[in-house]
Structure 1
Amino acid sequence: MLLGQCLSVGVCFCFQLFQTAKRSNGVQEVGKSSSYLVFELSVLFVYCWYGDDLISESEKVAFSAYDAVTSLQECPTSTKRSLLLLMLRAQRALRITAGGFFSLSRESFISVLNVSYSFFTVLRNFRDE
C-alpha cells in the first residue's frame, strides 16, 4: 500500500507541475495547484519522517542493551543471555518499507521528489520541442 502511495504521489507531483507550467493562466490556478501539491507531499512526508525516526530509535536499542550489560556484572547469566540476544536482534534496524523495495526515510522522500522533478523536466522539454 505504501509503495502505491509513494508512486502515486510522485506521479501526481510530476503531472501537477507539468499542468501548472503548461496552463498557468493566473495566480488562482497556480494557488490551487500549489495547495494540492503541498497536501500530497505532506502525506508522504509524514510517513517518511516517522519511518526515519523508527530507524534511528531502533539503532539506539543495541547501544542501550550494551550499556546495560556492562553495568550488570553481578546479574544472573540468564539476564545477560537475554540482553545478548536483544543486542544481536537489534543490530539490524527496524524499517517501514514500501513494498519491500525501499525504506521510508527522509532520504527516500527527497529521492521521490528528485525523480518526480526529473520526469517533469523531461515532459517539459518534450512539450517545448
Structure 2
Amino acid sequence: MLTDTQDLDTQCPCGSGKPFVFCCEPAISGRKPAATAEALMRSRYTAFAIGAVDYLVQTTAAAKRSPQDAELLAEQTQITTWTGLEIVTTEAGQTNDETGLVEFKAAFESPEGGAILHERSRFERESGLWVYLDGEVELIPS
C-alpha cells in the first residue's frame, strides 16, 4: 500500500505516469473529488490496488451499495494484485456532464491466476460528485 503520499517518485498505480500525490491521491484522500468519470475510474482502480476500501464504498452510487460491501472489498483487495490499467474508450463523463461511460481493461493476479477484467462502467453524478453506477464485465484469463 502506498503510505508516503509526499513521495514524488512513487508513480500512480492508474498508469497515468504522474506521481500518486498529484494523480489519484487527492481524490482518494477526499481533498479533491474526481473531476471526470475517467478520473473517478482511475482513482477507483488505484483504490483497489492500494486497498482503500472506504473510498470504493463512498464512490459507489448509494442505490448500489449493500451493508456487506466493505467486508467483501477488503477481502478482495487483500488477495488481488492489480498490475495494469488500459483505458479503451470514454463517452461523456466530462466536468459538465451528468453521466459517463468508461471502457477499460485492468490486469490482475489472484490466487486463481492472472486475468484481465474488461468492463464498460457507467458513472453518474450524485450530489454533484461522480460515482460508479454499474458495468458490463468480462473476465479474460491470461
Query: Larger % of strand: which?
Result: 2
- Which TM-score applies when normalising by structure 2? 0.22
**Per chain length, whose mean CA-contact separation is higher, i.e. which structure has more relative contact order (CA < 8 Å, sep 6+)?**
1
Query: Larger % of helix: which?
Result: 1
Rg bigger for which structure? 1
- Which TM-score applies when normalising by structure 1? 0.24
